[in-house]
Amino acid sequence: MRKDQRVKIIIKRLEELYPETPIPLDHRNDFTLLVAVVLSAQSTDKKVNELTKDLFKVASSAEEMYKLGEQKIYNYIKQLGLAKTKAKNTYNLSKIIYENFNNRVPNSFQELESLPGVGHKTASVVMSQVFNVPSFPVDTHIHRLSQRWGLTSGKNVLQTEMDLKKLFPKNLWNKLHLQIIFYGREYCSARGCNGKICNLCRELYPNRKNPIICSKA
């Protein structure tokens, strides 16, 4: 099966399974989504949602988060991995947004990626979900499935992102990246599939004999 044929099947099957793609991180506004994404690094969305529920009640803007202070931010999120670093980054990015961006989340990749704790993937999520700019944030699920589905060599997440952008229509990127994440969590997890088990892997590669060993993101 050619790569373009696989792409068509992937689009069709994911749309059948996930016609709606709600953002998995709970948030109240643009700013709280940015913070939630920053906090989600190396943590589960479920845990982040549990801890930000109370945090966002007391600080849902950059000004409020900055004035809350680094130590109090840490007290809310201390159960997360890398909590001290995340608290520091959340405090500093809040200060910058409050002082330099008029308390509003900046709307460009360059400005977002200049903020503490905000890398390209986090900026891509915000640009996609907040500002509706076509983006393709690549997390571990997307990186893994892209290799299993033969869409990329999987050398690193940036290469995966570039490869996927070439294969899928631009108007689908913002929805598709969430659909792939949902599928990876539900059907094609790191341990639950090896490229030969889930329905989509078997449909795309019905004659595959050897399991796929994926490079890490």
Other beta carbons within 10 Å of 51: 18
Query: Left (φ > 0), alpha (ψ -120 to 50) or beta: where does 79 sit?
Result: alpha
My answer on whether 40 and 110 are in the same domain is yes
- Residue-wise pLDDT for 56-110, tens only, equals 999 999 999 999 999 999 999 999 999 999 999 999 999 999 999 999 999 999 9
Please, which pLDDT band fits residue 32 given cuts at 50, 70 and 90?
very high
Question: Does residue 11 lie in a domain region?
Answer: no
Question: Does residue 114 lie in a domain region?
Answer: yes
pLDDT above 90 for 154: no
- Residue-wise pLDDT for 40-57, tens only, equals 998 999 999 999 999 999
Secondary-structure percent of the chain, ordered helix, strand, coil, rounded to 5: 60, 0, 40
Instruction: Tell me the C-alpha distance between 64 and 170, whole Å.
Output: 36
pLDDT confidence of residue 160: 96
Tally of domains in the chain: 2
Question: Does residue 140 lie in a domain region?
Answer: yes
My answer on whether 119 and 140 are in the same domain is no
Domain that holds residue 181: 136-204
My answer on whether 100 and 60 are in the same domain is yes
Please, which pLDDT band fits residue 114 given cuts at 50, 70 and 90?
very high
Examine the fold and report which residue of 106, 129, 152 is the final residue of a domain before the chain moves on: 129
Question: Does residue 59 lie in a domain region?
Answer: yes
My answer on whether 90 and 160 are in the same domain is no
Residue where the block lists tokens 């490869």: 163
Question: Does residue 23 lie in a domain region?
Answer: no
Question: Does residue 124 lie in a domain region?
Answer: yes
Examine the fold and report which residue of 74, 104, 129 is the final residue of a domain before the chain moves on: 129
| Mean pLDDT for the stretch of residues 146-170 | 95
My answer on whether 170 and 191 are in the same domain is yes
My answer on whether 125 and 147 are in the same domain is no
Q: How far is CA 43 from the centre of its chain?
A: 12
Question: Does residue 3 lie in a domain region?
Answer: no
Instruction: Tell me the C-alpha distance between 151 and 72, whole Å.
Output: 44
Examine the fold and report which residue of 107, 129, 151 is the final residue of a domain before the chain moves on: 129
Q: Quote the tokens at residue 150.
A: 């033969």
Closest CA to 103 of 41, 32, 179: 32
Residue where the block lists tokens 């996930």: 18
My answer on whether 144 and 190 are in the same domain is yes
Q: Which residues contact 140 (CB under 8 A, 6 or more apart)?
A: 190, 216, 217
Question: Does residue 58 lie in a domain region?
Answer: yes
